[in-house]
A and B are shown apart, each in its own frame.
Chain A
Amino acid sequence: MSAEFDITETLDVKGASCPMPVVKAKSAIDELSEGEVLEVLATDPGSMSDIDGWASGTEGVELVDQEEGDDVFKHYVRKTE
């Protein structure tokens, strides 16, 4: 786990393709409280651009970090309001 933030919840969308990683991330973040961080594990290469685009275009969420691991793309999104 990265040092600067705590992960509150992990969403596993490995195998799912567009638009599901974003759609499921939205539903998962709705369950969190302000300041909490959602970890999204995806295998869809498009999720790197899509989660970034979603987080910057959506009120109340911010992208904290993204990592390209071994076959898995990790995204960290904070709920800001």
Chain B
Amino acid sequence: MSTDTPDAPADDAPSRAELAARVDELEDALAEATSDDDGKKMSIIATKGTLDMAYPPLILASTAAAFGYDVTVFHTFWGLDILHEERSKNLKLSSVGNPNMPVPNAVAALPGMDRVTTKMMEKKIADNDTATIEELLETSLDMGVEFQACQMTIDLMGYDEADFYDGVTTGVGAATALQDMADADIQLLV
């Protein structure tokens, strides 16, 4: 049988090779789209650096990692302190502005009171066998959580890239966070 194509395509119709290339392209795109759907994703923006507010993003990040989520936590402003190796060990609890504190605001505002309430909370954490911030961070890193430190706030706070835990991603900004949020199944601002 002839391999000629007597009814050769008109000039604007794609050739067999072009069609084959197009099929390959579509198959690749499909494979990529399918693999993207494989895992669930969570994106957290951590903006707070007080002892109490450092917990929620880390607890949720490590738990989501246990669920098999691909987790990214983008740390900005005071949230950077959670990733700061030295500062993360000295996060403070504010004694003012929280009506649930056992001391009235007028007393809580006295010098040294934040230290008192922080010590109080640290003791509760130790007595209750609650994981420390450092422990949660190391665990999350081991589980593959990606921690990102916002470059603009690193510069603003005068921090150095070397100040952060090993494994923390630096050199990222809002567009990176936005991209992660757009791809994620769960997005949280803490």
Complex interface: chain A residues within 8 A of B62 (CB):
19, 23
Contacts of A59 in B (CB 8 A): 68
Give A25 to B63 CA distance when docked, in angstroms.
11
- On whether the beta carbons of B129 and A23 are closer than 8 Å, the reply is no
Within 8 A of B (CB), among A1-48: 15-20, 22-23, 25-27
B66 at the binding interface (Cβ < 8 Å): yes
Please classify how large the interface on chain B is, using the bins under 10, 10 to 19, 20 to 34, 35 or more: 10 to 19
Count residues of chain A with CB under 8 A from any CB of chain B: 16
A58 interfacial contact with B, CB 8 Å: yes
Return the contact of B66 from the options A15, A16, A17, A19 (Cβ within 8 A): A19
A57 near B: Cβ within 8 Å?
A: yes
Q: How many A-B residue pairs have CB under 8 A?
A: 40
B139 touches A23 (CB 8 A): yes
Contact of A57 among B65, B67, B129, B130 (CB under 8 A): B67
Residue pair A22, B129 in contact (C-beta under 8 Å): no
Known: A19-B59, A54-B67. A26 touches B129 (CB 8 A): no
Contacts of B59 in A (CB 8 A): 18-19
Q: Which residue of B lies closest to A20 (CB)?
A: B131
B130 / chain A contacts, CB cutoff of 8 Å: 17
Quick one: closest A residue to B39, CB to CB?
A59
Q: Are A15 and B67 in contact (CB under 8 A)?
A: no
A17 to B131, CA, bound (A): 7
Q: Which residues on B sit within 8 Å (CB–CB) of A27? A: 142-143
Are the CB atoms of A17 and B68 closer together than 8 Å?
no
Contact across chains for B139 and A58 when beta carbons are under 8 A apart: no
A26 to B62, CA, bound (A): 10
| Structural contact, B66 and A23, CB atoms closer than 8 A | yes
Residues of A within 8 A of B128 (CB): 17
Let me know if A58 and B129 touch, CB within 8 A: no
> Across chains A and B, which 7 residue pairs bring their CB atoms closest together, nearest first?
A26-B66, A19-B63, A15-B129, A19-B59, A58-B67, A23-B62, A22-B66
Known: A17-B129, A20-B139, A25-B66. 9 other contacts (CB 8 A): A16-B131, A19-B62, A20-B131, A23-B143, A54-B66, A58-B66, A58-B68, A59-B68, A60-B68
